[in-house]
Amino acid sequence: MGLAAAMQWTAIILAGQRPGTDPLAAHFGETYKALVPLDGAPMLTHVLATLKSCPQIGRIVILGQEPLILAAAAGDTAEIRRSNDGISSSLKAVMDAGDVPLPWLVTTADHPLLTREMIAEFLDKSSGDLSVGMVERQAMLTQFPRAQRTWLKFADGAWSGANLFAFANDNVHGALDLWAQAEKDRKQAWKLFLHFGPWLALRALTRTIGLGDAFAKAGRRLGLTATLVPLSDPVAAIDVDKPADHALALQIMAQRKGL
């Protein structure tokens, strides 16, 4: 059994965006990506509705550079805090403030296809200090044969992130510093793991280690336990970054409604 059964979680939604104009927001005439409309509501609203339906979630905090802009989509059931320019520095600031209790479920505002079943599976399989949700390529291609994702290729398969992170305790504080350094390398496995030493990077490059083992070894370098959580629903790896993702998300929402 994972961590979910033992505790209530604080959900943190990352709703910021990088400096400059976000291409998806501009495509839909918005200034803020989290507010891009999807099936009649902003993406952020969809994520909030899912989190509010989860019995494991006790509190929701939204992080974004423009809290006032996000307020209308957030309603009065979530707290909005101003974020820093980076994800890791924003999360560290919340952790250092000490008024948002751990454990945390961290996700993103561009994950409108998130479901309570995905969250339940992820939390139930989470263990240790830090857990990361991923989808293996074969699971994705079985259902979406033309899906275009970024794949990290390892001995145990090719993996795409699901924008789901479980922070069980403050042991993850040090990992946030590395997150800031590694953010730019997140789409190339060997570069990502180079931050944990050349030997691990070489094994990632030559695909002589599985991603689960690579996470575990990287975690030990940081003094924590890090766990890969494979998710069964491939939709968990579909976030909305570009118009093609948006069109696919609309199709999936229509299928869920039986349309």
Average pLDDT, integer, range 73-92: 88
What's the CATH number where 158 sits?
A: 3.90.550.10
DSSP 131: E
Which pair of tokens denotes residue 134?
């991923």
Q: Among 109-113, 165-169, 178-182, name the one with the lowest average pLDDT.
A: 178-182
What total number of domains does the chain contain? 1
Q: With CA atoms as reference, report the closest residue to 50 among 114, 103, 102.
A: 114
What is the average pLDDT across 234-257?
Answer: 95
3-state secondary structure string, 167-221? Answer: ECCHHHHHHHHHHHHHHHHCCCHHHHHHCCCHHHHHHHHHCCCCHHHHHHHHHHH
Domain assignment of residue 173, given as a range = 4-256
Mean pLDDT of 39-52: 96
Q: For 145-174, how does the pLDDT look when each residue is reduced to its tens digit (9 = 90+)? A: 888 888 888 899 999 999 999 999 999 987
Tell me what pLDDT residue 204 has: 75
User: Which pLDDT does position 120 carry in this prediction?
Assistant: 97
**H/E run at residue 81:** strand 79-82
Q: Rounded CA gap, 19 and 144, in Å? A: 32
- pLDDT band at 1; cut points 50, 70, 90: very low
pLDDT at position 2 over 70: no
Task: Read off the pLDDT of each residue in 209-236 and give the average, rounded to a whole number.
Answer: 92
Residue 222: per-residue pLDDT: 84
What is the mean pLDDT of the segment spanning 182-210?
71
The predicted model gives 63-82 an average pLDDT of 89
The whole-angstrom separation of Cα 11 and Cα 97 is 16
Per-residue model confidence (pLDDT) at position 146: 83
Mean pLDDT of 38-62: 96
